[in-house]
Chains A and B, each alone.
Chain A
């Protein structure tokens, strides 16, 4: 049971962006997707989300091709936080969170309110709820979008189906405390037997929070596996074209990556 891309190639504007990429998001832990700017991470994530069509290969959710699932079916099974988004009109934060509910789900009942307040508390955005979204700082907006994304798949599963969360650089505007908060929350969510994919640029965070790391480079998956195996000096220095050192930090008891 997983959300997986098998030998997927994606073209945009007749240009190959992703080539022959294979990746599986298993439940119970987080998978990190890392790589330099323009490597194709967001593109692959959108294909996993069922947004982009693939030119070859297949994306499947628990064995069913995503291209055959309706928007509604997909929405009940996976949520997505995009890398960037903006909202034109002046909605309040409370309204934005309300939009996280899948179309057709009953809202405004006790269960719905309990789930919302739980997510709001976990994401520490209670003090923002009455504010206009557009007046929030970049990091505050990002936390609200993260909360909305979690809320979409938060409620106790009425089916036994696994749920998946795809996060495209969810911490890019956050201070270091909120960065940790978001990743802890995402990992805890994954441990409720969900699958979480997170695109990150910070390799230290990827190593610290993720069970599995996938490295992309020029549209291809060049490494995929356990952080300790995948993060090595030679490969990283090559992919990022920069001198990079990976060490085991005794006191912290985790891998650290220096550029």
Chain B
């Protein structure tokens, strides 16, 4: 390829790029489908999907395992994985920083503190118990939004928000969150404490349809809103001032991205705890496969993030049967070395 001065050659270039991205997305969809089938079929009780769905009395137990236990868990893992990865990709685009991850920069911690405060202190609120399943996610979303807004204000106040500064601020926020969480541990009773500890390491083990469906709804809304901002996120890569020159209402765009990313992360954290590195690793891999355009990166991240979390959960619940590992352990075991590799690779100013 040397010159592309005529319209035909130019169009051809664009066509090639789009074709490649489409292929990657098709591939990622196939991977997700395969991982989901594997996750549904594997577990303490082995079952075959087709058999279990056949309506005869002998299979009732298998069917119930599939529909009431495994399915909500796999759906939750997929939704949370997609949410974390797409939020990671969107925050990286917003902060123009390839190392932004909802876990590392403290957004997940903010959600955790929000959710925990509701779990531990919510009992003293004068609301009926039926509202609690909604209040915890709502508090988590509020916590995630608060941290993201703070990060944004900090970035704005202190000028250029370099890669290093952002990670350092993330360390500080995570440390503060640890303090808050420690205080809640002190305040909580025995049962609260047990859920709290397991939850801090991340797990999809508490998935039931009533818990999963509202989460799914919020995540879906977040994902759709982020996908709709894809082109604006591309333009934002030219710089905030430049995006304004090209006609983007930058403040509105930032608000939209912060709110949708934080809502998706918060809703996920509320039911499955803190899972780090998914939002860091996944968008990076997607960019390596097909380039940096955000429509592609956001979609691809959602697909790959879902696959990754479903697979990690499969490992978490089958590696040490009959016990279960926290899924956060599995994703961190994969993510931390990757993070080191990424730090070595990204030019940190």
Contact = CB atoms under 8 A, between A and B. Distances in A.
B113 to A, nearest CB: 30
Contact of B7 (A80, A99, A113): A113
Chain A interface extent, by class: 35 or more
A50 B241 CA distance: 10
Nearest to A110: B7
B302 to A, nearest CB: 18
13 contacts: A46-B241, A51-B241, A71-B249, A80-B241, A82-B239, A90-B291, A99-B246, A104-B247, A116-B7, A117-B4, A126-B3, A127-B3, A130-B1
Contacts, number: 120
Interface in B232-257: 232, 234-235, 237-239, 241-242, 244-250
Nearest to A79: B245
A117 B232 contact: no
Contact of B4 (A49, A89, A129): A129
Contact of A117 (B10, B93, B98): B10
Contacts of A103: 231-232, 235, 246-248
Given A91-B293, A92-B17, A113-B7, A102 B238 contact: no
B92 to A, nearest CB: 8
B17 A100 contact: no
B287 interface: yes
A89 B247 contact: no
Contacts of B93: 89
B247 A100 contact: no
B317 interface: no
Contact of B292 (A72, A90, A94): A90
A82 B248 CA distance: 16
B246 A120 contact: no
Interface of A: 46, 49-51, 70-72, 74-76, 78-80, 82, 85-92, 94-96, 98-104, 108, 110, 113-114, 116-117, 120-121, 126-127, 129-130, 152
A75 B246 CA distance: 5
**Among the interface residues B14, B241, B246, which one has the most CB atoms of the partner chain A within 10 A?**
B246
A15 to B, nearest CB: 15
A89 B98 contact: yes
A113 B292 contact: no
A94 B14 contact: yes
Interface string B275-298: 000000000000100011100000
Contacts of B235: 99, 103
A207 B217 CA distance: 63
Contact of B96 (A46, A88, A130): A88
Contacts of A76: 247
